[in-house]
Structure 1
Amino acid sequence: MVRRGVLRVAVIGGGPRGASAVERLLAVYAHDGAGSPRLEVTVYDPYPAGPGKVWRTGQPRLFLMNTQAFYPTLIPSEPGLAPPLAGSSFDEWRAAQRSAIDAGTSSLDADEQAELKDLESRDFPPRALYGRYLATTWDSLVAAAPAGATVRHVSAEVGRVGRTPHGFAVTCLNGRAQEADAVVLALGHVPAQLNREQRALADAAARLDLHYLPPAAPADVDWEQLPAHETVLVRGMGLNFFDVMAALTLGRGGRFTEGPDGRLVYTASGREPHIVAASRRGVPYRGKAELDAYYAPSIQLRWFTREAALAPKRAGIQPSFDQDLWPLLHRDTLWAYYSTLARVEPEALSAGFLEGLAAVLAVEGAGWEPRASEVVRSGVAPARRLDLRALGAPLAGWHARDRAELDHRVLEHLDEDAAGSAAGEDDPLKMAIAALHRGRAVLKEAVADGGITEASWVSGLRGWFEGLVEGLASGPPAERIRQLAALMRAGVVSTVGPEPRFSIDRGGPDGPAFTAASPWVGGPGVRARWFVEALAPANVIARADSTLVSGLLADGLVRPRFLAGADGVPQPGSGLDVTAPPYRALDVNGQPVEGLYVLGLQLSAVQWGTAIAAEAHPFAAPGEAHDGAPYPSGQRTLRDADAIARRILGSGA
């Protein structure tokens, strides 16, 4: 409800999604609604608006983004949206800042200028540098606010949002409260409560004088507290692991140099601990292929096109992921692998193999898979056949005599993975992964907002596919894989093995210790007084360790979205229950809360891949749906912000 001629909007969360909400509010107001009423936007975040907590500019420079400089943006480029008032993509900002450095007019500090001088479009920027982009973009947005609109940042954490007769009351943890006509929840990453096993480890550590570091953003951890030469058990070998690895090696003064054989060599500083890494697969995420584009140009989807993926939704049919969508993407994965293999290693295939495979992949219905397997068995050398299950879990079913044999096998895997990344589009495995990666962009659009059955969302998409594709296509820069291999050769890093089991040994000759052992690896396990969870806090609304989220749930102002599994029993999803876009929260009774909007990570029960940043790319011509066209899912979060802004300002949507 607008009173006194002023529309007051509270944006809770000042990171990239909150900044996107503000950017769209200002752009839509300038384009459609300038004049009356006045617009007052208040952003609440204890951290600087723009970078927020995750991208704050003071974090260590050695923490890298997981996307190349040409990828991310805060500013939309989609046709049909209100024109941005200021800002650019990160890559455009990078180029402009380099010109300013050359002209001697840059306002960046010495570290940032040095990084920008060496940073090209295909490089992976430091997260702190991306934070500087977000900060300067935020400043430019606020400065460009149209007449009648104001933006202010309250540097405080919100503890409660409650309904009032006229809208909402937003109360900070310091007790200060303000009214708002509309609220946008752009919370980003919310701390999570420890699960049962983590609580047991933490409680035992407190009693036994051990040291347990719970899941946290790497930039939030004091890595200097870990003593040199001590064994440190690290659980998780995903993206956070590589930050831990960098902090305890490069951050301790170690350095990598190129060896005569092309491999990296690590020169220790003497201050490193001994890192023992453990994960369910026993190996880290695979490194990204070295490409000049986000999607491998040689890989075009032939079966899992946007047209095919969206056809059921457009026909009013709710498909199954396993039965209807995955078979199409599976075809493209096989074709990407074997067509690349035929190009770079034709001797591995029999004459006419590709033609035979293409004919089988064109078969509709369920009969194509066994026929494709037969074509592969008869036409491909055994060592060169694609095994997707093995690709995701390369140590599955293999026993090691001891951890030394295990590390030798892991090191071989890392070297092979690094070589594949360096080969880029000439590596068949990386191109199979490239097809999965390209398909993921199509899939995000197809499954959103009830695009597949709830049972297949739970058991298929989130149950097995998400883990597979993240481990293959969401890995670190290839340089991190080369660095890990060098650290293993130097004896700084070793591994535990797949399916590790963790416990506490309260005795032993050296006192209490955390222990870890794999059932697939013989010999003694690992003992350590330090345990680091290299896992991102769970993005599950019911486990959020947040006064605000707990209060919203307790007050009935929001509720988790429940999804029915294969057995038909509803279970809480990871995100909030919301209306169709623009996303308004549903209260405990399932009724829309007018004026309370949700943007970003807390939409994870109705959108897939909400943690991925917005992609900077030109959009295709309207109606263009062939695979060469950019994917609208790349700027989905910016489009959501636009729809919310239009709804708040009464400009449509």
Structure 2
Amino acid sequence: MKIAIIGAGPRGIAVADRLVARSEKEKVNVEIKMYDPYPIGGKVWNPMNKLNHSLITNTVVSQVSFFIDDSIENPGPIRQGPSFYEWIQQIAPEYLKGSSVGKTYLDKLDLKENDFAPRGLIGLYQQWFFENIRKQTGKNSSLAYEQTEIKAITPVNQQYKIDFSGTSEKFDFVFMALGYGENKYNDEERTFAEFAKRNKLSYFGPANPSETNLDDIPATQAVIIRGLGLTFFDYMIMLTENRGGKFVQDGEQLKYIASGREPIIFAGSRSGLPLHARGRNQKGPSEEYKPRFFTKNNLKNLKNHTGNLDYNSFFKLFDKEIQYKHYENLIKDPDYSNIIHKRTNRFLRELRRNPASNYEKIAEEYHMPKNQIWNWDRILNSAYKADLHQSFKNWYIKYLDFDIEDASKGNKDAPYAGAYDILRDIRNLIRDIFENQFFLPDDSEKFLTKFNAVNNFLSVGPPLIRIKQLRALVDCHIVNILGPEMKVENDPRNKSFFAKSQRLEMINAKSLIEARLPSVDNDLATQPLRLILNKYGWYHKTRYQKNQQQIILNAAQINPKTYQLIDRMGQVVPGIYSAGIPHEGVSWFTTIIPRPGVRTIIYKEAAIISKEIIDEIKKRTET
């Protein structure tokens, strides 16, 4: 049987690995072909992209591995192999010498286990892993790769004809891991782009930063960046360090030495705050926080008689877990060791007995420092609290200093960063709740809006070094952060873009960057394959309805238990499987890199999809 894998990123590679392993063990014949317009590893990790020498991963090297493990249910045959860090130490020095692009990363191998690697280096690890899979093929399996874009999929009898590079080929099964697609502009973006074209301005819409050419942005001129998420930090580095500037240590802080080629950056967002720094890593490759309150049993007990879970009850339990971890870390922190002296056990007992809504009052009664008393409004909306009559730059530097000091204490020990990091460790539990549809549609909508905002702000932040670099750039006025409620408009009178915020700032600039990736929106898709998938009704908006409640998601529908594609009529598309970013909202939190020993979703998907396909092949051949 012939299997096509569309997408050569981590998901495609993981599925290829499991198909080969299962087919060899179960003596099922498979011919696997993988397709992607980019090299193995896909667009994000492309080692041939020069910017991926300097743009870094968001996970420490010791917590990345492509070898599946027994934390996954029914994983298929398990192969032992090096984690990314072990590969860097043991294999990469020789392996990289074997290719011209590999040689350019030889000077990037001086990495410790808790460092963050250049993205291109993890792309090379994926290429090595793909070659390792091919070595496992035998009498029952073959694996090939072609760097080409798939233009169309057409059902033909019980197979699928795939069009690529002026030719086509038929397959029995297809797995798609399409990642972020290319979109046409939405109404607002189109207005900006047309205005820029008329007035010879520079507008950069939502895109992968490593594929964005910023050379047209002149030195010393203003540029507006809208967005303070992870994408912002890529653009920040591209416009500063990648233009010849240098970060140097100056006592306990970083200092930026400008090259003179930098523009002046004015950046902002709705909240006016960057994502929080990730705490300095203190965890082993597979080490996870074990929740005390937010447990499977406690969540099960919250279900009502219909088997559904109320969002407010869910959040209250999460709130208790994260706040308890915060205060537990706080009273162990050497800087605060004398807060409550011998009353530690009494304090923790009070917290265990009470709901999180009482924690602020309890903390005050025990004389906790004001800036260490957990307050959701202050955590999420600090920039709104800044004095309008004082320098926002000074307030911002103090805010960043606090974040840096806290995150430096580690992702196990820091009062705040240590609490934020537990979100990474309980994601599988949260994902199970969401994907098993324990929430009714109204509660699902609250989860996807309210909880996602909290999760992203607290736990998806950049490495600590990026926040230190941001502080240095703010200090020397190369980066200027605008206040909350940033809005950008066209300014026809001055033939420029115009930004303002709640702080009554007014900035004009000839360049505007949208610091975000393209949205998952089938209505805006421009790639030929996505247009075909839309045409057949295979990719479509997902609708959930129970009783009078309905939620519409701009995510393609799959069965989250099997990853089979479901068409617009609610029918399974036989032989086609899909996973990842196009289904965000049906699946949850899909943008991750495989981590060993923690039931990571990419391993889970690969195990399920490979078993589904191999089992179906066995059924067909038996009949």
2:257 corresponding residue in structure 1: 267
Shift of the 437–13 alpha-carbon distance from structure 1 to 2, 3 Å rule, reads closer
Aligned mate of 2:376, from 368, 374, 388: 388
Task: Please state how far the C-alpha of 1:356 moved relative to its aligned partner.
Answer: 4.6
Q: Distance in 2 between matches of 1:572 and 1:370?
A: 32
Task: Give, as a single letter, the amino acid of the residue that structure 1 aligns with 2:579.
Answer: L
Shift of the 57–580 alpha-carbon distance from structure 1 to 2, 3 Å rule, reads closer
| Residue 398 in structure 1 maps to residue 386 in structure 2 | yes
2:590 corresponding residue in structure 1: 610
Higher alpha-carbon deviation: 387-396 or 432-441? 432-441
* 1:325-357 deviation line (CA, Å, top 9, x unaligned): 222221111111112222221444486465255
Whether the 8 Å CA contact 1:350–1:379 is kept in 2: the answer is no
Query: Counterparts of 1:571-590 in structure 2 under 5 Å?
Result: 571-590=551-570
Shift of the 407–644 alpha-carbon distance from structure 1 to 2, 3 Å rule, reads farther
Whether the 8 Å CA contact 2:277–2:417 is kept in 1: the answer is no
Whether the 8 Å CA contact 2:93–2:106 is kept in 1: the answer is no
Aligned mate of 2:90, from 89, 93, 96: 96
Shift of the 151–436 alpha-carbon distance from structure 1 to 2, 3 Å rule, reads closer
Task: Give, as a single letter, the amino acid of the residue that structure 2 aligns with 1:163.
Answer: P
Shift of the 361–642 alpha-carbon distance from structure 1 to 2, 3 Å rule, reads farther
Aligned residues: 612
2:421 corresponding residue in structure 1: 434
Shift of the 352–195 alpha-carbon distance from structure 1 to 2, 3 Å rule, reads farther
Task: Give, as a single letter, the amino acid of the residue that structure 2 aligns with 1:216.
Answer: A
Task: Give, as a single letter, the amino acid of the residue that structure 1 aligns with 2:201.
Answer: L
Task: Please state how far the C-alpha of 1:142 moved relative to its aligned partner.
Answer: 2.0
Q: Distance in 1 between matches of 2:492 and 2:268?
A: 21
Shift of the 288–19 alpha-carbon distance from structure 1 to 2, 3 Å rule, reads same
Task: Give, as a single letter, the amino acid of the residue that structure 2 aligns with 1:393.
Answer: N
Whether the 8 Å CA contact 1:87–1:137 is kept in 2: the answer is no
* 1:614-651 deviation line (CA, Å, top 9, x unaligned): 2112xxxxxxxxxxxx4565743333443444344438
Q: Distance in 1 between matches of 2:493 and 2:424?
A: 48
Q: Distance in 1 between matches of 2:61 and 2:330?
A: 30
Task: Please state how far the C-alpha of 1:442 moved relative to its aligned partner.
Answer: 2.5
Query: Counterparts of 1:321-400 in structure 2 under 5 Å?
Result: 321-323=311-313, 325-344=314-333, 345-349=336-340, 352=343, 355-362=346-353, 368-381=355-368, 382-400=370-388
* 1:440-469 deviation line (CA, Å, top 9, x unaligned): 34212332232332221211x211111112
| Residue 489 in structure 1 maps to residue 475 in structure 2 | yes
Task: Please state how far the C-alpha of 1:312 moved relative to its aligned partner.
Answer: 6.6
Higher alpha-carbon deviation: 227-236 or 350-359? 350-359
Aligned mate of 1:157, from 149, 166, 172: 149
Whether the 8 Å CA contact 1:442–1:631 is kept in 2: the answer is no
Task: Please state how far the C-alpha of 1:298 moved relative to its aligned partner.
Answer: 9.7
Counterpart secondary structure, 2:34? strand
Q: Distance in 2 between matches of 1:590 and 1:81?
A: 29
Task: Please state how far the C-alpha of 1:518 moved relative to its aligned partner.
Answer: 0.5
Aligned mate of 1:445, from 432, 444, 460: 432
2:538 corresponding residue in structure 1: 557
| Residue 202 in structure 1 maps to residue 193 in structure 2 | yes
1:476 corresponding residue in structure 2: 462
1:221 corresponding residue in structure 2: 212
Whether the 8 Å CA contact 1:256–1:266 is kept in 2: the answer is yes
Counterpart secondary structure, 2:426? helix
1:625 corresponding residue in structure 2: none
1:246 corresponding residue in structure 2: 237
1:52 corresponding residue in structure 2: 42
* 1:555-582 deviation line (CA, Å, top 9, x unaligned): 22343321359x9553431322123522
Whether the 8 Å CA contact 1:288–1:475 is kept in 2: the answer is yes
Counterpart secondary structure, 1:286? coil
Task: Please state how far the C-alpha of 1:482 moved relative to its aligned partner.
Answer: 0.6
Shift of the 495–634 alpha-carbon distance from structure 1 to 2, 3 Å rule, reads same
Q: Distance in 2 between matches of 1:99 and 1:362?
A: 55
| Residue 639 in structure 1 maps to residue 622 in structure 2 | no
Task: Give, as a single letter, the amino acid of the residue that structure 1 aligns with 2:479.
Answer: V
Q: Distance in 1 between matches of 2:338 and 2:540?
A: 58
Task: Give, as a single letter, the amino acid of the residue that structure 2 aligns with 1:639.
Answer: A
Q: Distance in 2 between matches of 1:108 and 1:160?
A: 31
Whether the 8 Å CA contact 2:244–2:259 is kept in 1: the answer is yes
Q: Distance in 2 between matches of 1:107 and 1:554?
A: 42
Q: Distance in 1 between matches of 2:195 and 2:318?
A: 46
Q: Distance in 1 between matches of 2:46 and 2:376?
A: 38
Normalising by the residue count of structure 1, what TM-score does the alignment of the two structures yield?
Answer: 0.87
Task: Give, as a single letter, the amino acid of the residue that structure 2 aligns with 1:331.
Answer: K
Task: Give, as a single letter, the amino acid of the residue that structure 1 aligns with 2:566.
Answer: L
1:186 corresponding residue in structure 2: 177
Counterpart secondary structure, 2:453? helix
Shift of the 607–416 alpha-carbon distance from structure 1 to 2, 3 Å rule, reads same
Q: Distance in 1 between matches of 2:221 and 2:262?
A: 8
| Residue 176 in structure 1 maps to residue 167 in structure 2 | yes
Task: Please state how far the C-alpha of 1:408 moved relative to its aligned partner.
Answer: 1.6
Counterpart secondary structure, 2:231? helix
Task: Give, as a single letter, the amino acid of the residue that structure 2 aligns with 1:638.
Answer: A
Residue ranges of structure 2 left out of the alignment (5+ in a row): none
Q: Distance in 2 between matches of 1:147 and 1:210?
A: 59
1:289 corresponding residue in structure 2: 279
Shift of the 140–146 alpha-carbon distance from structure 1 to 2, 3 Å rule, reads same
Task: Give, as a single letter, the amino acid of the residue that structure 2 aligns with 1:52.
Answer: G
Shift of the 463–284 alpha-carbon distance from structure 1 to 2, 3 Å rule, reads same
Task: Give, as a single letter, the amino acid of the residue that structure 2 aligns with 1:439.
Answer: I
Shift of the 219–95 alpha-carbon distance from structure 1 to 2, 3 Å rule, reads same
Whether the 8 Å CA contact 2:6–2:35 is kept in 1: the answer is yes
Task: Give, as a single letter, the amino acid of the residue that structure 2 aligns with 1:551.
Answer: I
Aligned mate of 2:510, from 516, 529, 534: 529
Query: Counterparts of 1:32-181 in structure 2 under 5 Å?
Result: 32-34=26-28, 38-48=29-39, 50-59=40-49, 60=51, 61-78=53-70, 80-84=74-78, 88-97=82-91, 100=94, 109-116=102-109, 118-172=110-164, 174-181=165-172
Aligned mate of 2:520, from 515, 539, 550: 539
Counterpart secondary structure, 1:432? helix
Task: Please state how far the C-alpha of 1:504 moved relative to its aligned partner.
Answer: 0.9
Whether the 8 Å CA contact 2:324–2:351 is kept in 1: the answer is no
Shift of the 475–337 alpha-carbon distance from structure 1 to 2, 3 Å rule, reads same
1:601 corresponding residue in structure 2: 581
Q: Distance in 2 between matches of 1:120 and 1:422?
A: 17
Task: Give, as a single letter, the amino acid of the residue that structure 1 aligns with 2:400.
Answer: L
Higher alpha-carbon deviation: 384-393 or 476-485? 384-393
Higher alpha-carbon deviation: 431-440 or 56-65? 431-440
* 1:87-127 deviation line (CA, Å, top 9, x unaligned): 5432232232267589x9999844422211x1111110100
Q: Distance in 1 between matches of 2:203 and 2:551?
A: 31
Q: Distance in 2 between matches of 1:234 and 1:401?
A: 24
Counterpart secondary structure, 2:91? helix
Task: Give, as a single letter, the amino acid of the residue that structure 1 aligns with 2:146.
Answer: V
Whether the 8 Å CA contact 2:3–2:172 is kept in 1: the answer is yes
Q: CA RMSD in A?
A: 2.8
Q: Distance in 2 between matches of 1:613 and 1:305?
A: 25
Query: Counterparts of 1:622-633 in structure 2 under 5 Å?
Result: 630-631=598-599, 633=601
